[in-house]
């Protein structure tokens, strides 16, 4: 299910785990409707091998079909070098009820999406949605089976993850700059470095429109989560006439996965942590505190102790990262408490702690290609030092890490176009859905995207915590609103706040 997909993303983003200095961009930066146009080719569907259907669930469905599509590496030169995009389909079994295709993206950037239609179908995606659409998955350019990219990351670099060590001082930021510069150089000199300027959200959106054309569809509907919300926002901005029903779940701000989004991880943990503190306080058997205040104090106590002396391979940065990552889901709260308990008493850790980073090189590399290529990040160590100093005070649980320096600070300046500006021009066909206490894409960012869309969007918020609403979370009010939109086209008349519902 998608919760594993999303958690996997943040394991690499924080465990180490997706605009202070963005380049000024024009009022609008959109592709004309024919930017990605090409003579439609016939997609030849065939069975998905286990390898091609690879997903975080490691499962394939006999009904899931796969194919590939060639697209230009550089859309400014459509007849130049082509790269391969791997796509999948879970076809509607009710042709009389089928109304089109529903393209999906589980987040990332860097996550494979070939198996996502199957993950949706075997979780809680309503049957009437499955009947209404052919559900389409794909590996975005640079990812998995779609001409993958690399940064030649060593095992040690993978284990460090994507969020820098917690910076307590300016010297900590300066020290981390060396590692960040090294990774950026590896990406820029790798065998896939020629793809650096072209592995962007805008080009992935153009690839999506090529998929639409190849499938012979005049429009596509879309269901995207986490980073997939930015991808969907960019697509419907660039191709408003080809956009049908657009659902964005757990939303990044209008700048996408930029330096602002990175820093918002720290606010996200602060938003989410009270849910966990209340859970632990209600379970005194963990021995971590009987009040939320005591649980919060235990967090800082463990972080300090582990920074001074790691326990069973877990240092302070890893402790903060795993805690953050696993608070994406209520169901993971017991495992977080068990990890804390084990670290507190130096006992064996729960299974998959820390998570393995052995097979994460492509994910981590593709993530860097996209987030560093989409927008310009601060270029000076001093600015990261200032940001970390501010966020250590505002958001002490994670702020010293999320605001510190990473490879994007040293990324090659080879961007071929400015970021796409999300605005209110286009059809009113976007439904945003958002948890109030989302650690990975906090409500504050979603509200900015909502304002940017203006009349184009309606937003449904759910009074619950965690990352991801539809269709896995238990809030029936929010889930029903999305299902109704996908199947009937009807959205709430205005923004809707869904009350908390008891867990089932």
Query: Is 226 a known active-site residue?
Result: yes
Query: Is 503 a known active-site residue?
Result: no
CATH of domain 19-266+358-395+406-504: 3.40.50.1820
Residue whose pair of structure tokens reads 């999506």 in the numeric block: 208
**What is the β-pairing status of strands 430-437 and 243-249?**
parallel
| Nearest residue to 201 (alpha-carbon basis) of 339, 354, 370 | 370
Q: What are phi and psi of 46, to 5 degrees?
A: -145, 180
Residue 124's pLDDT is what? 87
Q: Strand, helix or coil at 137?
A: strand
| Nearest residue to 432 (alpha-carbon basis) of 408, 449, 419 | 449
At 269-299, the pLDDT tens digits run: 999 999 999 999 999 999 999 999 999 999 9
* Nearest-angstrom CA–CA distance, 62 and 418: 42
Torsion of CA 420, 426, 428, 432, to 10 degrees: 0
At 229-257, the pLDDT tens digits run: 999 999 999 999 999 999 999 999 999 99
- Catalytic residue from among 92, 139, 391, 467: 467
- Helix segments in 245-360, DSSP class H: 259-281, 292-308, 316-326, 333-345
* Nearest-angstrom CA–CA distance, 151 and 154: 9
In this predicted model, which residue has the larger pLDDT, 42 or 107?
Answer: 107
Between 195-209, 326-340, 411-425, the lowest mean confidence (pLDDT) is in 411-425
Average pLDDT, the chain: 90
- Catalytic residue from among 55, 88, 190, 226: 226
| Tokens encoding 71 | 């697209």
pLDDT band with cut points at 50, 70 and 90 for residue 146: very high
| Nearest residue to 322 (alpha-carbon basis) of 35, 72, 43, 8 | 8
- Catalytic residue from among 207, 258, 325, 438: 438
Neighbours of 24 (CB within 10 A): 6
At 174-190, the pLDDT tens digits run: 999 999 999 999 999 99
* Nearest-angstrom CA–CA distance, 151 and 52: 22
How many CA atoms are closer than 13 Å to the CA of 248, on its beta-carbon side? 31
pTM, two decimals, is 0.92
Residue 374's pLDDT is what? 96
| Nearest residue to 6 (alpha-carbon basis) of 200, 259, 268 | 268
| Nearest residue to 365 (alpha-carbon basis) of 150, 172, 161 | 150
pLDDT band with cut points at 50, 70 and 90 for residue 3: very low
Query: Is 74 a known active-site residue?
Result: no
In this predicted model, which residue has the larger pLDDT, 264 or 352?
Answer: 264
| Tokens encoding 346 | 């130096």
Residue 50's pLDDT is what? 59
């Amino acid at each position: 299910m998608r919760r594993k997909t999303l958690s996997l993303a943040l394991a690499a983003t924080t465990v180490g785990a997706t605009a202070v200095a963005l380049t000024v961009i024009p009022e609008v930066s959109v592709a004309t409707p024919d930017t990605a146009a090409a003579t439609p080719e016939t997609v030849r569907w065939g069975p998905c091998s286990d390898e091609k259907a690879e997903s975080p669930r490691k499962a394939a469905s006999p009904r899931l079909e796969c194919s590939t599509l060639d697209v230009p590496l550089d859309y400014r030169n459509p007849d130049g070098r082509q790269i391969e995009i791997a796509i999948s389909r879970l076809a509607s079994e009710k042709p009389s009820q089928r109304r089109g295709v529903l393209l999906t993206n589980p987040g990332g950037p860097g996550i494979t999406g070939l198996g996502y239609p199957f993950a949706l179908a075997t979780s809680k995606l309503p049957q009437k949605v499955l009947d209404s659409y052919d559900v389409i998955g794909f590996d975005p350019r640079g990812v998995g089976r779609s001409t993958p990219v690399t940064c030649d990351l060593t095992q040690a670099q993978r284990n460090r993850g994507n969020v820098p060590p917690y910076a307590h001082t300016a010297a900590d930021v300066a020290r981390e700059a060396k590692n960040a510069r090294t990774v950026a150089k590896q990406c820029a000199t790798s065998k896939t470095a020629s793809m650096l300027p072209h592995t962007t959200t805008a080009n992935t959106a153009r690839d999506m429109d090529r998929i639409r054309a190849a499938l012979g569809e005049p429009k596509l509907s879309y269901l995207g989560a986490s980073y997939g919300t930015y991808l969907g926002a960019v697509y419907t901005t660039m191709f408003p006439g080809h956009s049908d029903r657009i659902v964005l779940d757990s939303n990044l701000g209008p700048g996408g996965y930029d330096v602002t989004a990175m820093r918002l991880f720290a606010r996200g943990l602060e938003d989410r942590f009270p849910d966990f503190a209340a859970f632990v306080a209600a379970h005194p058997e963990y021995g971590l505190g009987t009040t939320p205040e005591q649980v919060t104090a235990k967090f800082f106590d463990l972080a300090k102790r582990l920074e001074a002396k790691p326990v069973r391979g877990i240092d302070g940065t890893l402790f903060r990262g795993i805690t953050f990552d696993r608070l994406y889901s209520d169901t993971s709260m017991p495992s977080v408490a068990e990890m804390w308990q084990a670290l507190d008493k130096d006992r064996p850790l729960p299974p998959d702690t820390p998570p393995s980073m052995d097979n994460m090189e492509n994910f981590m590399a593709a993530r860097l290609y996209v987030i560093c290529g989409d927008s310009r990040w601060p270029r000076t160590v001093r600015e990261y030092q200032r940001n970390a100093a501010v966020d250590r005070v505002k958001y002490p649980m994670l702020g010293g890490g999320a605001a510190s320096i990473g490879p994007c600070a040293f990324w090659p300046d080879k961007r071929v176009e400015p970021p796409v500006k999300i605005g209110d021009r286009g059809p009113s066909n976007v439904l945003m859905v958002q948890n109030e206490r989302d650690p990975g894409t906090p409500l504050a960012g979603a509200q900015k995207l909502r304002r940017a869309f203006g009349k184009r969007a309606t937003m449904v918020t759910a009074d619950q915590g965690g990352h991801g609403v539809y269709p896995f979370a238990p809030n029936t009010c929010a889930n029903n609103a999305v299902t109704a939109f996908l199947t009937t086209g009807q959205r709430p008349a205005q923004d809707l706040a869904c009350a908390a519902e008891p867990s089932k």
